Chain A
Amino acid sequence: MHMPGTHKLIITTPEGIKFPLLTAGPVTRFSAWVIDWMCIFATLSIVGQIVQLFSLINQDLSYALYGLAYFFLSFSYSIILEGFWNGQTLGKRLLKLRVMDVQGLHLTFSQIVVRNLLRAIDGLPFAYMIGGITCFVTKNSQRFGDIAANTIVVRHTRTTQPELTQILSGKFNSFKAFPHLCARMRQKVSPDLAQIVLDALLRRNTLEPEARIKVFKHLADHFKSLVLFPEDAVFGLSDEQYMRNILEILFNDGKTSDQKKIITGEQEVKNGTAQSTNDDEGRTGYGQETFPETTK
């Protein structure tokens, strides 16, 4: 049985580029569904108030309209919103989820309709039990509707570049006197490990003092086992400072403070618009040709 949670679906583009889509787990999807149902009920109560006006003319007509509105809303809410918002309902939008084609392509309207019509089976016997169980057991957390329509629900996260200014404050780094060891360190450290160091330093102030010492000792011991710097380079360094030096080697590549600004997000801006005059310089492959500027 597949363990639910974040799963990555790797998409390969025609250009040969690979990128992962983070599939949403059943719990997040259920939360979005609850929000959507709250919206449906809120809309229904408004519709109910409007429809009640018809009872002044014909009581039967107002009951009929309300019954049809309930049926129409419960089935078409997701179809309309997913069609209009490219795979998002209000609940999904709030929880940053999005329905996507299983190959990362743009959704077609028939895909949206079919995945929502199959709620008739996913919703059985109540509260999406069948759909929930199917999400738990399938690799990409797909319910029956998703399987039939070739869709997945992904976590649509917005990522930003790391803020390194607070960590790399331009202090003297004794490790830079040994460039060959720095190069060896960069070679040996995996992206995941580098990310752990970055996260630890960014979140250091949230740690309890004892935990902070313990975490950085553990990290420093590990990095010392990878590459051993000479005694005079590490003399007097705390474990935390040791890790700062390591981070600077990994992320900053031993560059000057001007270049640090670039990494830390200080983008060159002129006349209120980003400069794109030299954006093709020094690259290969795409983008050798000149394209007109985007109309701002």
Chain B
Amino acid sequence: MILDLNKFITQGRVTWSELEEILDRFDNDPGLKMRLPELERFHHVYQQSSADLARLSEFSAQQDVRIYLESIVARAFSLIHTPRKNPNRFRFFNWFFNTFPTTFRKHAAAFWLALAVIMAGSVFGGAAIGLDDESKVALMPFSHLMQDPAERVAKEEAAQKDKIAGKKSSFASYLISNNTRVAFLALSLGITWGIGTLLILFSNGVFLGATVADYILAGQSKFLLAWLLPHGSIELPAIILAAQAGLVLAGALTGIGNKLRQVSLKTRFRQIMPDLFTLMGGVCLMLLWAGFIEAFLSQYHEPFISYSTKIIFGAAQLSVLIIFLSISGKTRKSKREKA
């Protein structure tokens, strides 16, 4: 290529400096909004600099100029080109009532798989307790569950004062943080081809099944329902939804269950990214609610609050959640299209 370098640099330098100046403005003010003429100018100097880089890339002795141009073109490229489908402002209510349940239903297969695995774990844990009472030592997740359920119920009902008085807020804060961490882990372990996510689900199912079986065998079913339903009706589905997100991630990684299996891994990840964000956003809100309910309601028993009230509250909450996830965001148009 025949190139008059000096002339080339003289002419180009002005444009490059202008592009660099615009990029610096964006660096200093990331929320910068440009007017149309400014945007046109930005695009023009970007294309001009790109063309200069293309011309210079063949020339041997101007490596520094080439590196400089590569640097500003790379910065401009990432600002100009964006994979965003919808640049509109985030609208919380639209997201919560439409996007979240729609995304949940879009990946229903992953949800059913997660539910099946946690149920299998529960059956295993319940069967283990039923067949061998000594397995309680290995299966119970918390030390306070080691005692005899009947003894615990008697103790709780005989309590004259609020045992978590003055600790309720910090207890709720602990529960929210801890459960959210578990949910994040369930999502993250999707990157292990979903194996880690399934293991977390199964182990949680075992703990749950063992506890449930222990209380049922001791004849304390009503206490159990009143204790677990108010918060568990939200907390447990939230963990299953986080696992659903983990399985969606695993599906994109392996290509299993993906309609577009032929597309590249990067494309598959790009397609599920907004769905993961949505599912985990919903999970966080659910766990926030569950944490408060567990600290402020679940830990109170008769005579403070009747078991029936707690059970009705928990059942109603679960019903609302099921209805919300099943039909919210469905429009007549989408129903017709489906039909």
Q: A residues near B, CB below 8 A?
A: 11, 13-21, 58-61, 63-65, 67-68, 70-71, 75, 84-86, 100-106, 108-111, 113-114, 117-122, 144-145, 147-150, 156-162, 186-187, 189-192, 194-195, 198, 250-251, 253, 255, 259, 262-263, 267-268, 274-276, 278-287, 289, 291-295
Contacts and interface: CB of A to CB of B under 8 A. Distances in A.
B276 A114 contact: yes
Contacts of B81: 13-14, 104-106
Nearest to B36: A292
B170 A64 contact: yes
B330 interface: no
Interface in B151-208: 166-170, 172-174, 176-177, 180-181, 184-185, 187-192, 196
A267 B17 contact: yes
Contacts of A85: 30
A22 to B, nearest CB: 9
A122 B15 CA distance: 43
A250 B71 CA distance: 23
B270 A150 contact: yes
Given A68-B177, A118-B191, A291-B41, 6 more contacts: A15-B54, A61-B169, A108-B274, A118-B187, A194-B63, A276-B15
B273 interface: yes
B143 interface: no
Question: Which 10 pairs, one residue from A and one from B, show the smallest C-beta to C-beta distance?
Answer: A64-B169, A121-B188, A110-B277, A106-B82, A64-B173, A120-B184, A63-B170, A67-B173, A286-B47, A71-B177
A11 B44 contact: no
A106 B78 contact: yes
A114 B278 CA distance: 10
A229 to B, nearest CB: 18
Contacts of A159: 64, 67-68, 71
The residue in A144, A145, A157 that gathers the most chain B C-beta atoms within 10 A of its C-beta is: A144
Contact of B9 (A263, A285, A286, A292): A263
A156 B78 CA distance: 12
Nearest to A117: B184
Contacts of A147: 191, 269
Q: Is the interface of B mostly helix, strand, loop or mixed?
A: helix
Given A60-B169, A287-B51, A11 B74 contact: yes
Contacts of B30: 84-86
Contacts of B26: 86
21 contacts: A13-B77, A16-B54, A17-B53, A17-B54, A103-B266, A104-B78, A106-B79, A106-B83, A120-B188, A121-B191, A189-B61, A253-B6, A259-B6, A263-B6, A276-B14, A279-B11, A282-B7, A286-B44, A286-B50, A286-B51, A291-B37
Contacts of A194: 60-61, 63
Nearest to B189: A121
Contact of B82 (A16, A61, A105): A105
A17 B82 contact: no
Given A149-B269, A274-B18, A283 B51 contact: yes
B9 A118 contact: no
B68 A161 contact: yes
B66 interface: yes
Contacts of A191: 60-63, 66
Nearest to A274: B14
A60 B77 contact: no
Contacts of B17: 267, 274
B203 to A, nearest CB: 16
B64 A198 contact: yes
B46 to A, nearest CB: 9
B10 A262 contact: yes
B210 interface: no
Contacts of A148: 190-191, 249, 253, 269
Contacts of B335: none
A108 B273 contact: yes
B48 interface: yes
Given A17-B50, A110-B277, A64 B44 contact: no
A218 to B, nearest CB: 20
Given A16-B54, A58-B169, A117-B280, A190 B41 contact: no
A150 B273 contact: yes
B133 interface: no
A68 B173 contact: yes
Contacts of A149: 269, 273
Contacts of A286: 44, 47-48, 50-51
B38 interface: yes
B188 A117 contact: yes
B81 to A, nearest CB: 5
A134 to B, nearest CB: 9
A149 B280 CA distance: 14
Contacts of B302: none
Nearest to B37: A292
A275 to B, nearest CB: 6
A156 B74 CA distance: 10
A1 to B, nearest CB: 19
